[in-house]
Amino acid sequence: MPAQAPTKKFFSLEEAVALLPFVRATFAEAHKAMLPLRDEVILYKRLQQSREEEALDYDDPDLVAINQILEEKISAYEDLFRLWIGKLTDKGIQVKQFEKGLVDFPYRSADTGEEYLLCWHLKDDGLFYFHGPNEGFAGRKPITLLPE
């Protein structure tokens, strides 16, 4: 029997607002945990590029060591990324831009049945915007226009 696709979670405006402290804290913790590792990945990529320019061949021991460390750092970063994304997506929150702290909460109008996305950005003080499923951040409208 084929596995069923998970059902999409829809949030009321109140549910989404209630989750904002969790979302904000999750982004703060994630960025704090991931920033040092991201900086190390950047450093090792620069070392790798520099060493590739100097090395006579790709079997150069220093280059091999740098490549191995870089692979380990990238893998650790990806694992952390999946962990933090999962903390949000497990609740039905859609992460649009992790580094910028941009998320959407799926919402369905009780009146029309149409779907919208309640849009929140780390710089927002509250949940003030929504947009259609195909409009994105640029199509944000004030939450006061959200159909009930």
pLDDT of 97 higher than 80: yes
The model's pTM is 0.81
pLDDT interval class at 132 (50, 70, 90) = very high
pLDDT of 90 higher than 80: yes
Residue 51 inside a domain? The answer is: yes
Query: How far apart are alpha carbons 118 and 107 in whole angstroms?
Result: 7
Mean pLDDT of the 114-120 span: 97
Query: How far apart are alpha carbons 133 and 116 in whole angstroms?
Result: 6
User: Where is 27: in which H helix or E strand?
Assistant: helix 13-54
pLDDT of residue 148: 87
pLDDT of residue 112: 92
Residue 66 inside a domain? The answer is: yes
Residue 112 inside a domain? The answer is: yes
Q: In the Cβ-directed half-sphere of 20, how many Cα atoms lie within 13 Å?
A: 17
Write b or e for each residue in 22-34: b if 16 or more Cβ atoms lie within 10 A of its Cβ, otherwise e: ebeebbeebeeeb
Of 88 and 43, which is predicted with more confidence? 88
Query: How far apart are alpha carbons 11 and 119 in whole angstroms?
Result: 12
Highest averaged pLDDT of the listed ranges 35-39, 52-56, 98-102, 106-110? 106-110
Quick one: how many helices (H) and strands (E) in the chain?
2, 5
Provide the greatest CA pair distance for the chain.
69
Short-list 36, 33, 135, CA closest to 87: 33
Residue 59 inside a domain? The answer is: yes
Query: How far apart are alpha carbons 18 and 34 in whole angstroms?
Result: 26
Kindly report the average pLDDT of the chain as a whole number.
89
Domain range enclosing 93: 13-145
Q: In the structure encoding, which two tokens stand for residue 45, read together?
A: 């990529």
Residue 23 inside a domain? The answer is: yes
pLDDT of residue 3: 53
Residue 7 inside a domain? The answer is: no
Residue 8 inside a domain? The answer is: no
Backbone angles phi, psi at 11, to 5 degrees: -110, 145
pLDDT interval class at 2 (50, 70, 90) = low
Residue 6 inside a domain? The answer is: no
26-81 pLDDT, tens per residue? 999 999 999 898 888 888 888 888 777 776 666 778 778 888 888 898 899 899 99
* Number of domains composing the chain: 1
